[in-house]
């Protein structure tokens, strides 16, 4: 095994490969490092290359004040991590979440590094966020929070260094405020500093559903490879946010999937006869949740993962499939629209049981791919039609999928490890050519 220096993170002490089991299941950065370790061993990379790939190239943790509507001031904690930029500027979303931590951001930045590499776009990996509950903030407070965050990271980002985008509980409007604040600071028009913007401010056609569309395309290719007919295939969507909702819509439209269950942070619903996207999306828009949708029975977020369905789409947060429940997963295919939903131990259990996993940083890479298209359009001030975006996205996702599948078959490893082998080799090669290692 590779020699690893002792360190501690998130209050958990460990040394060498002596990881505590509970840390591996709950700390996403440990999961990311262990996943990387498997790939490094197979690729036989030297210790210096491994050490560079294990850690962020730079990270920024800070506190900043925000004036609330009642005249009080609250202090929020923010983060921005550059993981690796050997292949191009750092790229990654911004989360506003009550459980956001530096280790979460580190893990997401690492996965962004592998994600941009696996679809072979000239970008690196980054991530950021703020520890907060955006549901408790008014619109004006959310705007001041967004602008305050950008004021702190303005020197850390830029069109040619690090380009943020939306993620959990952030959206095009928040990106618009952030873009405006950055351009005020820079005193020039720089639309390429932020992606996922409204189209009126330089956003790209096809960006809204890109994450889900990319996932559905990989699911289509999986069905072809396995000789499966997905028409009417029962599907459960765990996490009914942007990716999950569009996964429902596009899964039904493109593949003919029958979505029988969906959930969000408040709970889940199940109807064996199927759920109509238009009706469920409207219900959530009006009520704020899928819970109590007419004609469906209530289930928990834990139960939805273990339903007897053909396809499971984890589309919420990381760490929902672990060694505690992996042996109870009944789906034949898991399409990971979320980042990091499956632990290292669960990966091996699922693989041994014959569950086909489309790994997160391949399955959900459609979002960053169209973000790259948005940067490209911003750079030369010429914008593509939605059909052009869809065609280019399909080409990237299909090529990436078959590259990973070929690696899995050649090396006789599970799909996530195959995706790591493709990505890590590409990043390591860029580092070596630059003379970093």
- pLDDT tens by residue, 179-226: 999 999 999 999 999 999 999 999 999 999 999 999 999 999 999 999
What pLDDT, on a 0 to 100 scale, did the predictor assign at position 2?
30
Q: What percent of the chain has pLDDT over 90?
A: 89
- pLDDT of res. 218: 98
Query: 294 near 315, Cβ under 8 Å?
Result: no
The predicted model gives 409-427 an average pLDDT of 96
- Mean pLDDT over 284-301 rounds to 95
Strands 311-314 and 125-131: unpaired
pLDDT at 339: 86
Q: Are 43 and 421 in contact (CB under 8 A)?
A: yes
How far apart (Å, rounded) are the C-alpha atoms in residues 390 and 288? 30
**Residue pair 336/244 in contact by the 8 Å Cβ criterion:** no
pLDDT band at 3 (very low <50, low <70, confident <90, very high): very low
User: What is the band of 59 on the pLDDT scale with cuts at 50, 70, 90?
Assistant: very high
Q: pLDDT at residue 170 above 70?
A: yes
* Neighbouring C-beta atoms of residue 73, cutoff 10 Å: 8
Q: How many CB atoms lie within 10 A of CB 198?
A: 14
Cβ distance 329 to 350 under 8 Å?
yes
Residue 10: is its pLDDT beyond 50? no
Q: How confident is the model at residue 25 (pLDDT cuts 50, 70, 90)?
A: low
The residue written with tokens 């904690």 in the block is 77
Q: Residue 23: its pLDDT value, please?
A: 53
Q: What whole-number distance in Å separates Cα of residue 13 and Cα of residue 4?
A: 13
Looking at residue 65, its pLDDT comes to 98
**Among 8-22, 146-160, 382-396, the least confident range:** 8-22
Phi and psi at 380, nearest 5°, equal -115, 15
The per-residue pLDDT for 19 is: 42
Residue 82 has pLDDT above 50, yes or no: yes
H or E segment at 174? helix 172-186
> What does the pLDDT read at residue 12?
35
Cα-flanking dihedrals φ and ψ of residue 374, to 5°? Answer: -65, -45
Residue 8, pLDDT > 50, answer no
Least confident stretch, 17-21, 121-125, 134-138 = 17-21
Asked if residue 13 has pLDDT above 90, the reply is no
Specify the pLDDT at position 318: 79
**Residue 197 appears among annotated catalytic residues:** no
Q: Measuring CA to CA, which residue among 391, 387, 378 is closest to residue 165? A: 378
Strands 90-97 and 125-131, by their bridges, are parallel
pLDDT at 256 over 60: yes
Using a pLDDT cut of 70, give the percent of the chain over it: 94
Report d(CA 322, CA 26) in Å as an integer. 9
Q: CB atoms < 10 A from the CB of 159, how many?
A: 17
Q: What was the pLDDT predicted at 11? A: 37
**Which pLDDT belongs to residue 168?**
87
Out of 57, 91, 115, 127, pick the active-site residue.
127
As a whole number of angstroms, the distance between CA 115 and CA 96 comes to 21
Domains of the chain: 56-193 (3.40.50.10860), 210-358 (3.40.50.720)
Residue closest to 248 by CA, chosen among 174, 185, 337:
337
DSSP 262: E
122 DSSP 8-state letter: S
- pLDDT confidence bin for 103, thresholds 50/70/90: very high
How confident is the prediction for the chain on average, in pLDDT? 92
Summarize the confidence of residues 169-174 as an average pLDDT: 95
pLDDT of residue 24: 54
Cα–Cα dist 236/315, whole Å: 10
Q: With H, G, I as helix, E, B as strand and everything else as coil, classify residue 74.
A: strand
| Both structure tokens of 222 | 């999986």
Provide the residue count of the chain.
Answer: 437
pLDDT in tens, 310-338: 999 999 877 899 999 999 999 999 999 99
Query: Quick one: pLDDT at residue 343?
Result: 87
Look up the pTM and report it: 0.90
**CA 351/CA 23 separation, integer angstroms:** 22
C-alpha to C-alpha distance for 339 and 247, rounded to whole angstroms? 15
Q: Which pLDDT band holds residue 7 (cuts at 50, 70, 90)?
A: very low
């Amino acid at each position: 095994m590779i020699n690893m220096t002792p360190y501690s993170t998130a209050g958990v002490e460990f040394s060498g490969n002596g990881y505590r089991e509970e840390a591996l299941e709950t700390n996403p950065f440990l999961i990311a490092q262990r996943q990387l370790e498997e790939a490094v061993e197979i690729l036989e990379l030297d210790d210096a290359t491994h050490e560079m790939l294990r850690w962020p190239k730079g990270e920024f943790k800070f506190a900043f004040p925000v004036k609330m509507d009642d005249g009080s001031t609250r202090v929020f904690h923010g983060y921005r991590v550059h993981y690796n930029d050997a292949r191009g500027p750092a790229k990654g979303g911004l989360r506003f979440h009550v459980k956001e931590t530096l280790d979460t951001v580190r893990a997401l930045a690492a996965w962004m590094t592998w994600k941009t590499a696996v679809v072979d776009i000239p970008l690196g990996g980054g991530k950021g966020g703020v520890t907060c509950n955006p549901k408790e903030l008014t619109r004006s407070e959310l705007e001041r929070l967004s602008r305050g965050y950008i004021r702190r990271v303005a020197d850390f980002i830029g069109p040619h260094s690090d380009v943020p985008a939306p993620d959990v509980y952030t959206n095009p409007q928040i990106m618009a405020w952030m873009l405006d604040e950055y351009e005020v600071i820079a005193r020039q028009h720089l639309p390429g500093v932020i992606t996922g913007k409204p189209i009126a401010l330089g956003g790209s056609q096809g960006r809204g559903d890109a994450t889900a569309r990319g996932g559905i395309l990989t699911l289509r290719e999986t069905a072809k490879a396995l000789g499966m007919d997905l028409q009417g295939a029962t599907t459960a969507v765990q996490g009914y946010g942007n990716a999950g909702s569009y996964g429902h819509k596009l899964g039904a439209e493109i593949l003919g999937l029958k979505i029988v269950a969906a959930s969000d942070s408040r709970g889940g619903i199940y109807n064996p006869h199927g759920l109509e996207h238009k009706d469920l999306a409207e219900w959530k828009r009006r009520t704020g949740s899928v819970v109590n949708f007419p004609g469906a029975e209530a289930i928990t977020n834990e139960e939805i993962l273990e339903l007897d369905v053909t396809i499971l789409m984890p589309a919420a947060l990381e760490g929902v499939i672990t060694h505690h429940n992996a042996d109870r997963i009944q789906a034949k295919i898991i399409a990971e629209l979320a980042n990091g939903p499956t632990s290292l131990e669960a990966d091996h259990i699922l693989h041994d049981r014959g569950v086909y996993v489309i790994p997160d940083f391949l399955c959900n890479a459609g979002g960053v791919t169209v973000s790259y298209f948005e940067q490209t359009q911003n750079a030369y001030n010429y914008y593509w039609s939605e059909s052009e975006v869809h065609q280019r996205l399909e080409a990237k996702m299909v090529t990436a999928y078959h590259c990973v599948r070929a690696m899995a078959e050649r090396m006789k490893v599970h799909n996530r490890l195959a995706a790591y082998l493709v990505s890590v080799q590409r990043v390591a090669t860029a580092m070596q050519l630059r003379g970093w290692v």
